[in-house]
Structure 1
Amino acid sequence: MSTFFAILLVTAAILALVIFISRFKINPFIVLFTVSIALALLAGMPAEKVVSSFEEGVGHVLGHVGPVIALGTMLGKMLTESGGADRIALTISQIAGKKRIDWAMMVIGLLVGLPVFFEIGFVLLIPLVYVLAARTETPLLRVALPMGAALSVTHGLLPPHPATLLALSAYNADMGKTIMFGILIGTPVAIIAGPLFGRFAAARVPLTGHNAMADLFVKSEPTKKLPGFFITVFTIMLPVILMLIGSTANLVSPPHSKINSTLHFIGNTDIALGVATILSFYVLGTARGFSRETILRFTNESLAPTALIMLLVGAGGGFGRVLIDSGVSHAITETALGYHMPLLILGWLLAVIVRLASGSATVATATAASIMGPILAHSTNVSPELMVIATGAGSVAFGPMNDAGFWQIKEYLGLTVTQTLKTWSVLETLIAVFGLIFCLLASLIIS
């Protein structure tokens, strides 16, 4: 397949998604499914493999994201009904002040995002975003975008996220230096893409439509008797704590030992969220006077609005899988390797291309690092640590429609496709571009 034809297919697919969803108001799942099938056939994929490729992508993404969304939404509902979200929101607004809520959410996002995947941090913090925005009368985007930017920066640029660890190994980089450089570079990047861009976007993209997720997480009147701040924070932070414990498994015990397996089990995403959700049934449920029947009603009510989100997240994964299996992403990547350019830029560019083609930041980092690792091994004038960060920055570029996060952001924040492109996709691109710029500036100082 020629590069020109591959780029033409991707461009046509993206335009089709925007036009049919925004202009003709066709259900996004139907559009994603149809465009994916059409792209695969036009790319020359055998007809008998087209549907299985889409299904594989859907299953892979939902296998990870589905339980996270379900458990996280139930935990969020318990925070809302018990008044726990109001308690945290009240404390944050008192400490930070109403005018700096967006900065506070960025800091919280950076801290929560260090040990967890983007999707997990998002479902943990989104109830607070809704409640803070409502109680302080702050535009939702001004609160949500800084949190999303912080989670994206930590997911893409900093260990111990799996893709970053793969890049560390491929580039033979030092973890301590990578974390240090990642914090120094990631913090200003999060500020630019978070509070600064968040204020800019909130003033220009007004949200006027009804948001069903806001009804789920915000009570019309705050609960009069609120739960304690520390027990509420402990409940919401318990998944983060358990995942941190799991991440130490290989440091404190031999691989495949009983202790090692137990720690990995405790730190598993679904287990950590499940434990926290079950704890919330008591701490924020029965201990607050709710009956078991009421708690069951809360959890059942919380799942209904997530059905479409899960379908769209899965369909986004199916679209990404089709782009990979059809050979479109490979054709574009091979062409990029033919151009001679500085290694930091080449590693970043490869990650950007794979990100656009696959939708996954993890796949983008892992793929680009595996290609660039042998090349970097023969170069002595490029910092391996900066290569990790530059590759990670490229891996989040554009926030494309074949990324599960695009549809998660769209549905949770009640955005149209066009509004999501104007806000989330621009935010992700700011992270990618400024991440590369700061890496290039740092390379001048280090060299």
Structure 2
Amino acid sequence: MTTLPVPSTEGLLAAVRPLATGDLVQPVNGGAQLVIGGLAGIAVVVVLVAVAKLHPFLALVLGGFTVGAIAVVGSDAEVDGEAYDFQHVVTVFSTGFGNTTASVGLLIALGAMFAKLLADSGGADQVVDTIVGRASPRALPWAMAGVGALIGLPMFFEIGLVLLMPVIYLVARRAQISLVAIGIPTLAGLSAMHALVPPHPGPLLAIDNLGADLGVTLGLGVLLAIPVVIVAGPLFGILAARWVPVAAPSDADSPVSVGGRSGGVTGGGDPGEADGGVRRPGFATTVATVLLPVILMMGKALADVLLEEGNGVRTVLDLLGTPFVALLLAVLVAMWTFGFGLGWSAGEVGRSVESSLPGVAGILLIVAAGGGFKEVLVSTGIGTLLAEWAQDANVSVMLLAWVLAVLIRLATGSATIATVTASSLMAGLVDGLSSGEVSLMVLAIGSGSVFFSHLNDAGFWLVKEYFRLDVPQTIKTWSAMETVLSVTGLVLVLGLDLVI
């Protein structure tokens, strides 16, 4: 890995913090051997995912075992009085797998339930129709960026893209605006939320690996996402539309159904009803329900800062703002606002919630395996070596975190794999950092994890086909937008690091 020394004490890159290594896990073997083991483990993951096309779950399991197998050779280290051998590596991996499932897996499952209720009820449509229907033609790219960010808050990127493609076509066609000028801001909103804001899997896993405060990270993530979406969305969309002027396809040529929507986009129908007279939640109700877990978790973070420990209000907010409790309450509220309150039966609500889980099973396995991979890396003490190297080389830990995520992202095409690997390697560098700085490291990794989506990323092909672009056009629009988003995120993280 190329070292990235800070050129001077001036500018954004000068924000380097001292790294304490006293509490870090001590290396179980020689430094060179551990570095080789870490690189070999990462290489196994990259090759298996990018070349052999193996499922990332298996790739992470085998990558973790590769790190451990190399680390134990010739090692005479002991852990709790027992030899650090391969059996111990298996135990460490299993422990990390289980702990991550308990902490992050529950949140992903609850988030999936919430998102499915939002989509099935027509709440997402209501948000889109209300915001877009009230925007002037010149304001439409900005409105679509807002729609993408709001819908992207609870939903995975791919689900949000599929959901919003019909309205992207309709808006571009009816307003006679380039499909790219409307689509890029929407994609920027979706992608920024996916990379920077919990409860998406990447930020959640980085928070878990680095021990960051979820409320603080959530608040900083939302704060950071706003300018990131503006720069990578409406502003960059102006350039992208000039580079690739693409008109929206006609009804007959559209690859997705764009008919049958109601409200402001199509100009017909009661804004409180979907087609066929089926009720859907109101705009205010939908937005309030979507923002409920965000408000609860941010309330906890503020209470921890502003109120003394033992204060009754702080005790209540700490409970309600616990991520699991906040998302559980949000799902229960959504079952009413997006279900029972609209006249759904108990069976209909149950089926909507149940149908959300199969789609995230693979993500849950990948995230849990990433937790096991991280535990193996930590147990070898390679994080201690990396911390000492970073301190001696005077490298900004935020920049290092971003670069690691970028390299893995370019190699594997997976934002999740990039987040898993980078946050695992950076886990040993958080000692001595404040809570805010650890949260910024999470955001640096999240920004790096979406850098330059290209041919090895499934999202690249999804965007290419939906927008009916060729490969060079997709690179000029989607790939360039992801790069702008990533670099903008890094610059803002480094700027915030100067004042936090």
TM interval, shorter chain, is 0.5 to 0.7
CA distance in 2, matches of 1:76, 1:86: 13
Q: Deviations over 1:135-178 (max 9, x none)?
A: 22368876344333256557799xxx998988xx9xxxxxxxx9
CA distance in 1, matches of 2:148, 2:49: 31
Question: CA offset at residue 246 of structure 1?
Answer: 2.8
2:125 paired residue number: 86
Question: Residue 96 of structure 2 contacts residue 372 of structure 2 at CA under 8 Å; is this kept in 1?
Answer: yes
Partner SS, residue 361 of structure 2? helix
CA distance in 1, matches of 2:480, 2:100: 23
Q: Deviations over 1:31-87 (max 9, x none)?
A: 211121112111235212212222232233222322222222222222222211111
Aligned amino acid, residue 146 of structure 1:
G
Residue correspondence of structure 1 range 63-102 to structure 2 within 5 A? 63-96=102-135
* Aligned counterpart for 1:149 among listed residues 183, 192, 197: 192
1:265 paired residue number: 319
Distance 1:396 1:21, change over 3 A: closer
Residue correspondence of structure 1 range 417-436 to structure 2 within 5 A? 429-431=486-488, 433-435=490-492
Question: Residue 78 of structure 1 contacts residue 280 of structure 1 at CA under 8 Å; is this kept in 2?
Answer: yes
Question: Residue 329 of structure 1 contacts residue 358 of structure 1 at CA under 8 Å; is this kept in 2?
Answer: no
CA distance in 2, matches of 1:4, 1:193: 41
* Aligned counterpart for 2:86 among listed residues 47, 62, 69: 47
Aligned amino acid, residue 94 of structure 2:
E
1:133 lines up with 2:183 in the alignment: no
Question: CA offset at residue 270 of structure 1?
Answer: 1.9
Distance 1:51 1:293, change over 3 A: same
Question: CA offset at residue 430 of structure 1?
Answer: 2.0
Question: Residue 102 of structure 1 contacts residue 146 of structure 1 at CA under 8 Å; is this kept in 2?
Answer: no
Question: CA offset at residue 435 of structure 1?
Answer: 3.5
CA distance in 2, matches of 1:264, 1:237: 17
CA distance in 2, matches of 1:245, 1:414: 37
1:33 paired residue number: 61
Determine which structure has more spread, i.e. the larger CA radius of gyration. 2
Question: CA offset at residue 349 of structure 1?
Answer: 4.3
Normalised by the size of structure 2, how large is the TM-score? 0.60
CA distance in 1, matches of 2:140, 2:50: 32
Question: CA offset at residue 243 of structure 1?
Answer: 2.4
Residue correspondence of structure 1 range 45-444 to structure 2 within 5 A? 46-96=85-135, 103-104=142-143, 107=146, 121-123=153-155, 129-137=161-169, 143-149=186-192, 152=195, 188-193=227-232, 221-222=260-261, 223-224=274-275, 225=277, 226-250=280-304, 253-339=307-393, 341=394, 346-349=396-399, 351-352=401-402, 359=420, 368=429, 370-371=431-432, 394-396=444-446, 398-399=448-449, 429-431=486-488, 433-435=490-492
Question: CA offset at residue 20 of structure 1?
Answer: 1.9
Aligned amino acid, residue 149 of structure 1:
A
CA distance in 1, matches of 2:142, 2:34: 41
CA distance in 1, matches of 2:145, 2:32: 40
Question: Residue 70 of structure 1 contacts residue 306 of structure 1 at CA under 8 Å; is this kept in 2?
Answer: yes
Bigger helix fraction:
1
Aligned amino acid, residue 190 of structure 2:
M
CA distance in 2, matches of 1:64, 1:97: 44
Partner SS, residue 108 of structure 2? helix
CA distance in 1, matches of 2:234, 2:381: 39
CA distance in 2, matches of 1:422, 1:396: 16
Question: Residue 188 of structure 2 contacts residue 229 of structure 2 at CA under 8 Å; is this kept in 1?
Answer: no
1:24 paired residue number: 52
CA distance in 2, matches of 1:22, 1:68: 28
Distance 1:53 1:372, change over 3 A: same
CA distance in 2, matches of 1:192, 1:36: 38
CA distance in 1, matches of 2:61, 2:97: 10
Q: How many residues align?
A: 383
Normalised by the size of structure 1, how large is the TM-score? 0.66
What is the percent sequence identity of the aligned residues?
25
Aligned amino acid, residue 241 of structure 1:
I
Partner SS, residue 113 of structure 2? helix
Distance 1:364 1:141, change over 3 A: farther
Structure 1 gaps of 5+ residues are: 113-119, 170-177, 204-214, 374-384, 402-408
The CA RMSD measured in Å over matched residues stands at 5.1
Question: Residue 236 of structure 2 contacts residue 481 of structure 2 at CA under 8 Å; is this kept in 1?
Answer: no
Question: CA offset at residue 425 of structure 1?
Answer: 8.4
Aligned amino acid, residue 192 of structure 2:
A
Partner SS, residue 30 of structure 1? helix
Structure 2 gaps of 5+ residues are: 1-28, 73-83, 170-178, 245-255, 262-273, 409-417, 452-456, 464-473
